[in-house]
Amino acid sequence: MAFFSSAIYTIPSDSLWIGAWKNPKDFDKILPEDLTERTGCEVLLKKVGANHFKGATGVKTCKSSLRGASYATSEVEITKGKIVSWDRGFDSDGNHVWGAEKAGYVFDEIEN
């Protein structure tokens, strides 16, 4: 069974990039050596069917301090034409502190 890893990276001075999507060319200034991989935050995806992949982060492996969290989790499902991504943060006692509560965000392919 094949596995794929989806890594997560951070950029330096990330708050300076808020809203930068308005000027996509600005991202050309970021070089691969400027990025830092967030160890433990990668999503390991496994092929579970034709055009169907599922995966998640490890248990409590992705450290996070966002909005009072001590760790974050990501669950991802990819099918033809759709990605479901469920990212959540938890405090040290395992209480949910940010992210969707009941299910992940659905990204449907838009056909042109």
How would residue 17 be classed by pLDDT, with cut points 50, 70 and 90? confident
- Percent pLDDT > 90 in the chain is 72
Can you tell me the distance from the alpha carbon of 82 to that of 20, in angstroms, rounded to the nearest whole number? 26
Residues composing the chain:
112
**Coil, helix or strand for 24?**
helix
For residue 75, pLDDT over 90 is answered with: yes
Q: Is the pLDDT of residue 2 over 80?
A: no
Q: What is the pTM of this model?
A: 0.79
**Residue ranges of domains in the chain, CATH in brackets:** 3-108 (2.40.128.590)
Instruction: Give me the mean pLDDT over the 44-69 stretch.
Output: 93
